[in-house]
Chains A and B, each alone.
Chain A
Amino acid sequence: MNQEIPHVVIAGAGHAGGSAAAFLRQLEWPGSITLIGEEPIPPYQRPPLSKAWLKGEATAESLALRPAGFYPGAAIDLRLETRVTGLERANKTVVLSDGTAVPYDVLILATGARPRRLPISGTGLAGVLELRWAADADRLAAALRPGARLAVIGGGYIGLEVAASARALGVDVTIIECESRVLARVACPILSDFFQAFHRGQGVVIETAARVVGLEGTAGSVTGVRLGDGRLIACDAVLVGVGAMANDELARAAGLSCDNGIVVDLMAQTDDPAIFAIGDCTSRPLPLYARRGRLESVPNAIEQARQAACLICGKPPPAPEVPWFWSDQYDLRLQIAGLPFDATEIALRGDVGTAKFALFHLTGDGTVQAVEAVNASTEFMGGRKIILGRKRLTRARIEDMSVSMKELAA
């Protein structure tokens, strides 16, 4: 490494990349920083794109991770509308979409994930949308006119959050889910049933176990979603929200280990000590659960950005965190702590009927693996502490509301 002016290059200027640049400066990284992003705007928060942004309740300024003036002020060379297209590890150089070669001492891959696309006909029709970037959200917002009909393919978080925002805007919404319930991959059946009923109560039509065979259109614009049973869901726009795939091609081509994401350790380091990877593009250790996996979440992006920045700056590693997620829909706040691996029992604390409850997922020996909390932030926060402490609890004690969360977490 050039000890005079070591250079960190960050490939990707999403939440992970933007946070890494900021953490490096907080930790007094003495060298230069180049932050390379494909989008035309500086790093911003994606979670509001499906919520406040669609409803016109957010501004570009409120979305931004930091004010535009922060980057020059912190000597971060922010290059927008630019992609890293090549990685030459042997001479520690990345090649950019404009043809420039940029040498690095340390490289941070923060290339994110991209929406999975459906292998069906009609996805190129106008009005067929996905949601990842701010520009996608602008296209979606333009389609959400009062009285318009939106078909949402995929009943995951993106689909449900957009459905809630669309209803608030007076849009007719049909959710088409191929599994037997919404949130099938990410939540337990009790939670799925609750959200399904709540959305239906808000006027959303939900088709479960529904296979999409094609998108149909007139004059180049989408007019309907054809289902496997022959029915046509007529619509003016389609949002496809069927998961995301790690952008790990650059790492793969450079010979770094990848397994549904770029393989990293607990300091976000890849198998090349000069290269880190952070955020949605990584497959990371999940030490609480003795396995690895990909976490698509803002907290994960920030945690890994901090891990990488600490190691790069020679600081002690940050304390381990419990993975967590949140989703706001209507006036519901869902907060999830942990991951329900190996759980065999569910304890329900509170009353589903009051829309204020928490589901604790326990293994056979009573270890709490995950807590799904709806409008129950005390249970969520207490749950994080319980999970981190590997505390064991009985279902009966969790469900006993005369026992406070303080006592449960003690």
Chain B
Amino acid sequence: MGPFRRIGAALLLCAAGCVHVAPYEREALTRPGMDSERETNETHFRAHVHDSREGATGGHGSTGGGCGCN
């Protein structure tokens, strides 16, 4: 089994409920480096730039279009 399949299998096991992280165990998940919601608005402008300069889009909430900068 290749490494990508192993990672995929591990993720599926997690989805099956093998991992439960209690709320009191989540201190590390509140650190600045793990709080991805903090970057939402920063990402909004960067996505706008990438959408207007790249053929691909998506993955950050945008659908393409939305302004005349295409």
Query: A and B: real partners?
Result: no
Q: Which residues of A approach B to under 8 Å, CB–CB? A: none
